[in-house]
Amino acid sequence: MSARPVLGIIACNRQVGAEYAQAVMNRYAKAAMRHADCAALLIPSLPDYMRADEIVGRLDGVLLTGSPSNVEPARYGEDDAGEGPFDPDRDRMMRDLVEAVIAAQRPLFGICRGFQDINVALGGTLRRDTATNGELLSHHTPDGTLFDAMFDHCHHVDLVEGGMLASAYGASALDVNSVHYQGVGRLADGLSVEARAPDGLVEAFSARPNGAPLLAVQWHPEWSVDGNEESQTYFRLLGQALRSEL
């Protein structure tokens, strides 16, 4: 039996009782391993103890997941404190991972915070009003909404003709879940828009830095993925990328 590709998945620093642990929600790992048909290893966000370029060459690609934490505003040039929670070590590790993955010509995929991570690492900025700006769609449910109900909050996105997503779905639009307080402000140079919300907010982007595919979405395809053909398509694209077929 031939070996499956190995996906590196970034971990977050999460408090568990009195201590901190490296954590990834199971839904990200299970969705990737099942629908991209790959093995997976967790990448600790412990940049004082390991370097991204030590491990990227041993992986077939990297996934940056969503997280309750936000990117620190100083990472994209803002001088105010912003609203946490923050995970500074994940910020450092994701920056180094993006650089190392691109240099190693490996695929890079992102979901929600991972989408924002990639934009910031490549020089873009974030906006922090996607749940409160009356000129935008509501991109997050009101505070106090039950956890499962948050992921029932959906809106329409238009797919860019000729893009990776439009080609994969054979469609011009999707309905996606929307669970984010922040989003793209200025899109980083070199990234191409793959999807926009009706209010103009960028919801997905792609690139081929050094030839390998980069694809990130603001929504959560890992949520209830087993019953959702559209969500599975995102992870099948990941599987193709890991096998140099995308």
Q: Do the beta carbons of residue 212 and residue 105 sit within 8 Å? A: yes
155 is catalytic: no
CA–CA gap between residue 53 and residue 120 (Å, rounded)? 19
In the chain, which residue ranges form alpha helices assigned H by DSSP? 26-35, 52-55, 88-103, 113-121, 147-150, 164-169, 229-242
Joined tokens for residue 86: 């923050």
CA–CA gap between residue 166 and residue 195 (Å, rounded)? 9
Helix (H) or strand (E) run with residue 30 in it: helix 26-35
Active-site choice (112, 139, 180, 203) = 112
Torsion region of 223: left, alpha or beta (phi above 0 gives left; psi -120 to 50 gives alpha): beta
220 is catalytic: yes
Active-site choice (35, 139, 155, 220) = 220
CA–CA gap between residue 238 and residue 245 (Å, rounded)? 10
CA–CA gap between residue 97 and residue 67 (Å, rounded)? 16
CA–CA gap between residue 185 and residue 128 (Å, rounded)? 8
222 is catalytic: yes
Active site residues: 112, 220, 222
